[in-house]
Amino acid sequence: MILRRLGPDPHTSGAQTSASGGCPDILELDGGDFAVIGRDITDSALSHLPPTVGCSPEERIVRIPRKTLVLAKADIPNSL
């Protein structure tokens, strides 16, 4: 199911993360999709979504630090 982590390990060089049991991550799945581990901000973000954006009951809005996405950029494919 999970092929690989995109970007470096968040704990590289002894870095600490704010979460008690985990850390933000971006993962590539075997079907080509991606999974994100981050803080669930669905409840606070729903009322701020742009008019053309929706979040169905089975979906969650997840926050990851900017650094996590920027550092993963080199590992994200450029094409479909």
d(CA 18, CA 20): 6
pLDDT of amino acid 19: 53
Confidence of residue 4 (pLDDT cuts 50, 70, 90): very high
What one-letter code names the amino acid at 65? P
Q: Which residue in this structure is represented by tokens 């926050």?
A: 63
pLDDT of amino acid 13: 61
Q: Which residue in this structure is represented by tokens 């009951």?
A: 57
Query: Regarding predicted confidence, which is higher, 18 or 58?
Result: 58
> For 37-59, what is the HEC assignment?
ECEECHHHHHHHCCCCCCCCCCC
Burial of 26 (0-12, 13-18, 19+ CB in 10 A): buried
Predicted TM-score (pTM) of this structure: 0.80
